[in-house]
Chains A and B, each alone.
Chain A
Amino acid sequence: KQEVTQIPAALSVPEGENLVLNCSFTDSAIYNLQWFRQDPGKGLTSLLLIQSSQREQTSGRLNASLDKSSGRSTLYIAASQPGDSATYLCAGRWETSYDKVIFGPGTSLSVIP
């Protein structure tokens, strides 16, 4: 059974700091992994999608990496801003359960001005 975990559950950093959010998964035969952002009371906004053949994806101040052998993905946020405060979730899809996506519990990020 594939499982996704995210540690820590909450993180608080001062504005301007670079930070890394962690995502771990149990099955290295991952098809792709995606990072989402969720603002309070809102739905999910897709940030980055990494296919199994890729090692990283970048969008603006965000960089996501994928290491299948170690079962880890990281989301790097450069020069954090108060507007980055949100919950960040990672989600994976595996070759053996193609149509299903498994989410981690999320990391709640607070960027303090």
Chain B
Amino acid sequence: DAGITQSPRHKVTETGTPVTLRCHQTENHRYMYWYRQDPGHGLRLIHYSYGVKDTDKGEVSDGYSVSRSKTEDFLLTLESATSSQTSVYFCAISERAVTVEAFFGQGTRLTVV
């Protein structure tokens, strides 16, 4: 597997609390992405980054923020978790924009109760 690690792998949190998920890569890839996967929806892009401190929104960005202070780390924060944010979250990395995401992390299963 490529050097991409998501943490934590599983988390249960209460409604209204902030949550931060971490994606760490050792590949020095420029692009990093956060997706969520829900039954019947496939993967939907939340936010992505095209460089340190350079980020942009995806199609389902409401309620989420991201930060990338180093090439290797991309953080996804749920500012105030809601039950609708219960999902499996995937991080992906890509060396170039012309290629679709080359590598995916193993996923983080988040449950908001």
For B101, what are the chain A residues with a Cβ–Cβ distance below 8 Å? 44, 46, 101
- Tell me if A93 and B42 are in contact (CB < 8 A): no
Query: Please, which residues of chain B bring their CB within 8 A of the CB of A42?
Result: 106-107
Report yes or no: A43 in contact with B48, Cβ–Cβ below 8 A: no
Tell me if B100 and A32 are in contact (CB < 8 A). yes
Residues of chain B with a CB closer than 8 A to A34's CB: 100
- CB-defined contacts of A102 to chain B, threshold 8 Å: 45, 59
Cα distance, A49 to B104, chains bound together (Å): 15
- Determine if A41 and B107 form an interchain contact, defined as CB atoms under 8 angstroms apart: yes
The reply on B79 being an interface residue by CB < 8 A is no
A105 contacts B40, CB within 8 Å?
A: yes
Residues on A with beta carbons closer than 8 Å to the beta carbon of B58: 100
Task: Confirm or deny: A91 has a beta carbon within 8 angstroms of a beta carbon on chain B.
Answer: yes
User: Given known contacts A99-B31, A99-B97, is B102 in contact with A46 (CB within 8 Å)?
Assistant: yes
Closest residue of chain B to A1 (Cβ to Cβ) is: B59
- Cβ–Cβ contact B104 & A44, under 8 A: yes
Q: List 6 A-B contacts (CB under 8 A).
A: A9-B40, A42-B107, A43-B103, A46-B101, A91-B100, A100-B48
Return the 5 tightest CB-CB contacts between A and B, nearest first. A43-B104, A103-B42, A103-B43, A44-B104, A105-B42
